[in-house]
A and B are shown apart, each in its own frame.
Chain A
Amino acid sequence: EVQLVESGGGLIQPGGSLRLSCAASGLTVSDNYMTWVRQVPGKGLEWVSVIFTGGYTHYADSVKGRFSISRDNSQNTLFLQMNSLKAEDTAIYYCAGDQGDGTIDYWGQGTLVTVSS
């Protein structure tokens, strides 16, 4: 059974930094397209970033230059480094995995990030 467990969310002031982690089991992070998707409570889904099996990364325009996605193959863990946080980054952040067929097969339970003074 695949499990993706996010951690690292919390309350942070505008301009601050936060690092989210996603520990995977039943799935090898380096063998999947791993992605972060966020959702403002009560609103829709917004794709944030992806890291491909070859290590290439892509970002949504709204976070480009501020967020950085990475993975640690030895820990089978995905990360999202978030810098220069803004109020509009407040959301539940989901870690998710795609086996490479364009379908997001697996989702974590999410971690809430609140950016507020």
Chain B
Amino acid sequence: QSVLTQPPSASGTPGRRVTISCSGSSSNIGTNTLSWYQQLPGTAPKLLISTNDERPSGAPDRFSASKSGTSASLAISGLQSEDEADYYCGAWDDSLNGWVFGGGTKLTVL
């Protein structure tokens, strides 16, 4: 059981917009930066974007992140086939004194 809650799957057709939600609590999302990580098949996770708008150089601006209270979301516009991956939300938790993650959302591009 993950501390952060994500839907297990999401899907969309090429060119469309899809959003993935992430729900937490006041000790994690409610207080700290929420980040999104992309894990392509067979590879390590990598930082995609965070809610303080930090994104690695080269990360496409088709990805955007937002946060409200204890919930957050990742939006992907102009969906592309290479976006098929697992997406994880993560944040520092002040009660657990460690990072917590969502269970991951498998994105399928139809």
Contacts and interface: CB of A to CB of B under 8 A. Distances in A.
Q: Do A and B come from one complex?
A: yes
Interface of A: 35, 37, 44-47, 49-50, 58-60, 94, 101-110
Interface of B: 2, 32-33, 35, 37, 43-47, 50, 52, 54, 56, 88, 90-92, 96-104
Determine chain A's interface SS by DSSP, over half rule: strand
A50 B96 CA distance: 12
Given A45-B45, A94-B44, A103 B101 contact: no
Contacts, number: 62
Contact of B54 (A35, A103, A106, A108): A103
B56 A103 contact: no
B1 to A, nearest CB: 10
A99 B40 CA distance: 23
A44 B35 contact: no
A35 B99 contact: yes
A102 B101 CA distance: 13
